[in-house]
Amino acid sequence: MLAKFVLRRALAAIPVVVGVTVITFFLMHSTAGSYVPGLALNPNLTAKDVALLRSQLGLDQPLWIQYLDWTGVAWVVQHLGLGSLLVGANEATPGLLQGSFGQSMVDGTSVSSQLFDRLPNTILLTVTAILIGIAVSIPLGVIGAMRRGTRVDNALTTVSVAGVAVPQFWLGLICILFFSVRLHDWGLPFLPSSGLQTPFTGGALLDRLAHLIMPAAVLSFVYLAIWSRFTRSSMLEVLSQDYVRTARAKGMGERRVTYFHALRNAVIPLVTLVGLELPGLVSGGLVVEAVFGWPGIGLLAYQRALAYDYTMVLGIVTFASILVVAGNLLADVLYASFDPRIRLA
Amino acid sequence: MSNNEAESQFDRFLDEWSRRDFLRGMGGTLAFAAFAAGGMEFLAACGGNQAPTTNTQNAVRGGHIVEGQISDISNINPIFINDVPSSLVGYLVYSRLLMADGKGNLIPDLATAVPKVDSDQVTYKVTLRDAKWSDGQPITSDDVVFTYQLMFDPKYKATTSRFRAQLEQYLASVTNPDPKTVIFKTTKPYAPFEISFMNIGILPKHIWEKLQPAEINSSPMNQVPEVGSGAMLPVKWDKGSQYQLKRNDLFWRGKPYLDGYVVKVVPDGVQIANQLKTGEIDVGNPDLSQWDSLANVETINRVSYVAPSFDYYIQNLDPAKTPKAAIFGDVQVRKALLTALDRQKVADKVYFGLAAPADSSVSGAQWVHSTPKTQYPYNQSKAEQMLEAAGWVKGADGIRAKNGVKMEWELRTNVGNKVRETLITVLADQWKQIGANVTTKPVQFPQLVTQLSQSRDFEMILLGISEGLDPDTTQLWSSKSIGGGALNGAAYKNPKVDDLLDQAVQTLDREKRKGLYQQIQEVLMEDLPAPLVTYPKSVWGISKRVKNFNVAAWTGASPRPWFKDVYVVDGK
Amino acid sequence: MIDQLAVDELQRVGTTSAGVTGRRSRSYLGESWERLRENRIGMLAGYVILFLAIVAILAPVFSQFVTHVQPDRQDLDSQFLPPGVHHWLGADETGRDTLTRLIWGARVSLGVGFLTVTMQIIVGGGVGLVAGFFSGWVDNVLMRIVDMVLAIPAIFLFILMAILFTPNTVTLSLIIASVGWGGVARLVRGEVLSVRSRDFMLATRSLGAGNVRLILRHLLPNVLPVMIVAASLGVGAIILAEAALDFLGFGIHPPTPSWGNMLSNAQTYFAHSTWLVVFPGIMIFVTVLAANLFGNAIRDAFDPRLR
């Protein structure tokens, strides 16, 4: 039964992925059709240069052929000997179906090398932000629940709700201005304002942490508000459960009741919430990456989108979407294996 | 000397001055008095009119500097280079036959001397000096010929060099009779040849010949080559983060003083200013708005100079493309529009004083620059009179109209350049004062380029141009350069200018050439198809621990012939 | 664990145990409204939003009678004037009055917020209703499309679309809505699925009600609370998204003021003209905070579990 369910879900995921490639491809290509990516406004470049470069990048072919080329369908067709079906196509290069994201149109580097070199940076950032989020929202939620209705509770609620009301880029820039520039002006130790590490330090751990802490903290704000409120209400619900009352009645100490029984059970639903964030791991930090010059995937996609680097942007967006679809599929499968009712849905 | 010239020279003088500690005690008034008393001689003596000088008396060996750049390198292979950070690193890693000095004059690099063209006007003979690649192999004429073949030989058609079309047009052959001699033959007399095509970095044949033509486009050696010949050699490229280089002990000019050099990617000009203050970077171009805030930072020197660039607006003169050509078609209207702009105020307020109003169609840093007799100083009432005289009368809504056509249009520029985005709103406002209803719209750069150079589907566009070393402006003003990716978006057609441009490109005599370009400047100031607004300055923040970092008009990002003598006082 | 569905059942009017608590009978919406009224913070937040909306609508009046300038009136000589007599909240880099621009900016920021939310509710709600009601292949196809849209990370979709369109209030709302409708559709569909299976639906249908009547008169009112909650919680996020798009260069451009573009433009001048950053920042903060608090209050009011 489970296997059938998994198969059904996986098959349903395929048209979604195909649909994603179609949407992103045609969105990306529907603007400035004759622009040649990567060419600066050069007063020495002639019209012939531009036209030549355009055709070398394959941009003068009809759009549907470019799509088939990029997805790797053209390669398959040509290798089956049916190349004549693709009127006007150049020699096809390996595409998505063959596992290749192609080359950047701006600098010729391989898209996958850029993607996978920078992916760890984004993961480092978002995972750290999630960890900070968990580490702070659990205590906030517990305190709020324990002191429900008091001023402390209200204050904490206000802080967490307020935390999401500030624009992320603004928060980031304020942090830079304070923790980097002001602290330096006052002669105090200050945090670096951009990048992964200080050049020529060989990537010492403390240095890398110093670079990581600000962007990760800013990014964690987004999670804090939701998770701390959720922990609080989850904790409240658990505390009113029968088994907690039973534990108290049995004479168990209040502290033990809270931390041992209640907390453990209150945190379990939080895991679900955290899990919801995982598919968005790759793209969530774009604004923070832009503010702090953090060389991750989001920033790469943004910069290359501005430069109309078609292949790079399509590669990154497709990759991220596949992760989302795969993540959802995994989550569905996990739920189904725990709860048989879902398999029938 | 006109008032403007005097002011800008005094500015340069002050910049030079503030870098000389011994004169720091004297105040500004004294400085001006000294300047006024000594005039040009004092200026020249203090180096105010020349490129900054190199002093290695107390040079310390060792250490490294970090330079901040707003974008990452993309491709440093000389045959592909197309952006500032890439050419910065490319010029450090690869030597070339010729390069330029701070004032834009050619100086020899791998060549022993700047070649003089033969009497047939098409042959250039270059003699190579003794120099080695970083792996110990000698640099020979084979390497030179190979590099040029990559760019224009049919065998390498699959290699997407951006120089191909031009070289196919102008280069007839490149041959090497012996290991130290290279002979270039152009297809016809072509004045820009040396400066445009003989300053391309040379690639090592013994490394690159192993690759197939198509493989060259995507080789990782395009970003991190194993073998180079310049002052620095690549160590590591952390994508999107930094590019690290180390000293090349085999550099033909001599061992550089620095051990290492990093180009660090910084998000924007404001952050560059911040990081200059905190010391995270040693040199960089801060955003114009941060210039004042860097004034009192003890650890930083500020340097600014007139850059070879200009900001200008292009009026679409083609009635087939836009009905607004009816407005711009009348030269009196074009003159009136320019007269209505208070460009000094714009330079003061929008560029924070770091620009000068333009006075010609080329920047002040070009050697062919002259100030045409016809100028258009700001005069709002005169502008309004001119418009009235041309038949554009104000309607009830305050907007001028003529023959049923209203004086309104859309002014576009590219998103992402704050100065230009502010500039278009200011220009629109100034034109509103004389009865033109101008709306503004920032557009993504690729779309803007397409609108200008392909579809020509626009009304008015404001852009910035970074000039090349050669003064040839066929791409901007010739009737051959309309559409198809060329930059004459206005569709300006003047046979006289076409003729002068053609002649100038084939005139190899420098003085004669200058005369021709001066005539072109005179004509363009009369016709005003795309008037220049300002000459923005280049601004730098340089840490005081860095010496001999002599950026100047033509040696800002690249090339940097002075680089080998850069040192840091603390040797760290 | 208590079965929430069962609890819902007990509270709904029309079930056999209605009125168990002994209270006088009132409609669900009426009761929720009462609960909302009791939430002081929530109501305050609601009034703040209302006030801002009124100010935004009356922007031309303000320009005419209060500040006497238009939002795009430049005066380069007044560049960066600090708050004072002539410019109560200071002037920006081209001498435009900050207070006037804040008021007109409310039009754009709030306009985008409400317009987007409306689009999301209409499209997302519509799709969710249809998908949930008809099931079968209609449901399949619609939900696959929703999956596609939701698979592409929102920020990437924003960027791709923003490059396409010239940003103004309407197109920006379209862009942001095109990302958010998917979530609303899923939410509504879930509600529809649970409501659909209830007895009263079966009863009404057996009385001869047609599809449209069923959807509009019986399904929609029960699904409405979910949609309203989604709407009110969404406004804050949309205003923040607009600000983020301005920062990235894809949003509304000057001279048209929006709080987001005022904020991101002013970042460059933070050091010497801090007020340029503070005021738009406060406006965004207050609005988003109010929207979130009001949204929370509405959700609490509609949530039967809190009785």
Pick from B82, B260, B483: CB nearest A39: B82
**What is the reported pTM?**
0.85
pLDDT at C306 over 80: no
Q: Of C156, C111, B290, which is closest to residue A324 (Cα–Cα)?
A: C156
B35–chain A nearest CA distance, Å: 36
pLDDT at B10 over 60: no
CB of A33 within 8 Å of a chain B CB? The answer is yes
Question: A298 with C155: CB under 8 angstroms?
Answer: yes
Question: C305 with B324: CB under 8 angstroms?
Answer: no
Residues 419..448 of B with a Cβ closer than 8 Å to C: which? 421-422, 425-426, 429, 440-444
- Please name the residue of chain B whose CA is at the shortest distance from the CA of residue A35: B450
Rounded CA-CA distance B159/A56 in Å is 9
A44–chain C nearest CA distance, Å: 28
CB of B178 within 8 Å of a chain C CB? The answer is no
Which pLDDT band holds residue B21 (cuts at 50, 70, 90)?
A: very low
CA-based max dimension of chain C: 76
Q: What is the pLDDT of residue C42?
A: 85
pLDDT at A340 over 70: no
Residues 355..394 of B with a Cβ closer than 8 Å to C: which? none
For residue B355, count CB atoms less than 10 angstroms from its CB and return exposed for 0-12, middle for 13-18, buried for 19 or more: buried
Residue C74 is classified by DSSP as: -
Mean pLDDT of B388-416: 92
Residue A243 or A73, more confident = A73
Q: Please list every residue in chain C whose beta carbon sits closer than 8 Å to the beta carbon of residue B345.
A: 76
Rounded CA-CA distance B72/B266 in Å is 9
Residue B154 is classified by DSSP as: G
Which pLDDT band holds residue B390 (cuts at 50, 70, 90)?
A: very high
Q: Which of B49-58, B227-236, B334-343 has the lowest mean pLDDT?
A: B49-58
pLDDT at B201 over 50: yes
In a mutational test of the A interface, the residue from C160, C179, C288, C305 whose CB has the highest number of chain A CBs within 10 Å is: C160
Q: Is the peptide bond before B357 cis (omega within 30 degrees of 0)?
A: no
CB of A142 within 8 Å of a chain B CB? The answer is no
CB of A31 within 8 Å of a chain C CB? The answer is yes
pLDDT digits (tens, 9 = 90+) for C16-73: 555 455 555 567 777 777 777 777 888 899 999 999 999 999 988 888 888 788 888 8
Mean pLDDT of C132-149: 88
The ipTM value here is 0.84
**Chain-chain contact of C94 with B429 (C-beta, under 8 angstroms):** yes
Q: Which of B14-28, B315-329, C18-32 has the lowest mean pLDDT?
A: B14-28
Pick from C163, C268, C272: CB nearest B418: C268
Q: What is the pLDDT of residue B429?
A: 94
**Chain-chain contact of C253 with B441 (C-beta, under 8 angstroms):** yes
pLDDT digits (tens, 9 = 90+) for C168-185: 889 999 989 988 898 889
Handedness of CA B366, B371, B375, B376 (dihedral sign): positive
B270–chain C nearest CA distance, Å: 6
Helical (H) or strand (E) element with B126: strand B123-127
Mean pLDDT of B254-269: 93
Which pLDDT band holds residue C157 (cuts at 50, 70, 90)?
A: confident
Backbone angles phi, psi at B277, to 5 degrees: -65, -40
pLDDT at A34 over 50: yes
CB pairs under 8 A, 24+ apart, for B497-502? B497/B523, B497/B524, B497/B527, B501/B472, B501/B473, B501/B474, B501/B477, B502/B474
- Please name the residue of chain C whose CA is at the shortest distance from the CA of residue B425: C255
For residue A189, count CB atoms less than 10 angstroms from its CB and return exposed for 0-12, middle for 13-18, buried for 19 or more: exposed
Question: B186 with B170: CB under 8 angstroms?
Answer: yes
Q: What is the pLDDT of residue B7?
A: 43
Which pLDDT band holds residue C304 (cuts at 50, 70, 90)?
A: low
pLDDT at B422 over 80: yes
C65–chain B nearest CA distance, Å: 22
**Cα angle: B463, vertex B469, B474; to 5 degrees:** 60
pLDDT at B11 over 60: no
The SS3 assignment for B356 reads strand
Rounded CA-CA distance A268/A248 in Å is 21
Q: Of C104, C132, C115, C133, which is closest to residue C178 (Cα–Cα)?
A: C115
Helical (H) or strand (E) element with B537: strand B532-543
Residue B293 is classified by DSSP as: G
Pick from B163, B218, B267: CB nearest A194: B267
pLDDT digits (tens, 9 = 90+) for A164-206: 888 888 889 888 888 988 888 888 888 888 888 888 777 788 8
- Please name the residue of chain A whose CA is at the shortest distance from the CA of residue C250: A306
Q: How many CB atoms lie within 10 A of CB B55?
A: 11
pLDDT at B22 over 80: no
Q: Is the peptide bond before A340 cis (omega within 30 degrees of 0)?
A: no
Residue B221 is classified by DSSP as: G
Q: What is the DSSP string of B391-458?
A: T-EE-TTS-EEETTEESEEEEEEETT-HHHHHHHHHHHHHHHHTT-EEEEEEE-HHHHHHIIIII---
pLDDT at A40 over 70: no
Rounded CA-CA distance A229/A138 in Å is 9
Mean pLDDT of C4-10: 55
Mean pLDDT of B208-227: 91
Q: Please list every residue in chain A whose beta carbon sits closer than 8 Å to the beta carbon of residue C270.
A: 173, 177
**Chain-chain contact of A161 with C296 (C-beta, under 8 angstroms):** yes
Task: Determine how β-strand B64-69 pairs with β-strand B283-284.
Answer: parallel
Burial C201-234 (b: 16+ CB within 10 A, else e): beebeeeeeeeeebbeebbbebbbbbbbbbbbbb
Residue B523 or A7, more confident = B523
Q: Which residues contact A120 (CB under 8 A, 6 or more apart)?
A: none
Which pLDDT band holds residue A42 (cuts at 50, 70, 90)?
A: low
Rounded CA-CA distance A30/C100 in Å is 38
What does each C-alpha distance from B267 to A239, B286, B544, B548, C246 come to in angstroms? Answer: 48, 11, 23, 26, 16
CB of C93 within 8 Å of a chain B CB? The answer is yes
Q: Which of A126-130, B109-113, B332-336, C88-92 has the lowest mean pLDDT?
A: C88-92
CA dihedral B3, B7, B9, B11 (to 10 degrees): 180
pLDDT at C282 over 50: yes
- Please name the residue of chain B whose CA is at the shortest distance from the CA of residue A182: B278
Tell me how many residue pairs between chain A and chain C have CB atoms under 8 A apart: 118
Rounded CA-CA distance A73/B235 in Å is 39
pLDDT digits (tens, 9 = 90+) for B448-490: 888 998 889 999 999 999 998 899 999 899 998 898 778 999 9
Backbone angles phi, psi at C167, to 5 degrees: -75, 120
Q: Please list every residue in chain C whose beta carbon sits closer than 8 Å to the beta carbon of residue A24.
A: 152, 156, 160
Rounded CA-CA distance A80/B464 in Å is 50
Q: What is the pLDDT of residue A288?
A: 93
In a mutational test of the B interface, the residue from A31, A45, A114, A119 whose CB has the highest number of chain B CBs within 10 Å is: A45
**Chain-chain contact of C163 with A305 (C-beta, under 8 angstroms):** yes
C255–chain B nearest CA distance, Å: 7
The SS3 assignment for B289 reads helix
Pick from A31, A53, A198: CB nearest B447: A31
Question: B246 with B232: CB under 8 angstroms?
Answer: yes
C68–chain A nearest CA distance, Å: 30
Q: What is the pLDDT of residue B76?
A: 93
C2–chain A nearest CA distance, Å: 10
Report the Cα C225 to chain-centroid distance in Å: 14
Which pLDDT band holds residue B15 (cuts at 50, 70, 90)?
A: very low
Which pLDDT band holds residue B23 (cuts at 50, 70, 90)?
A: very low
Where do we find the tokens 């830079």? A176
pLDDT digits (tens, 9 = 90+) for A48-58: 777 777 777 78
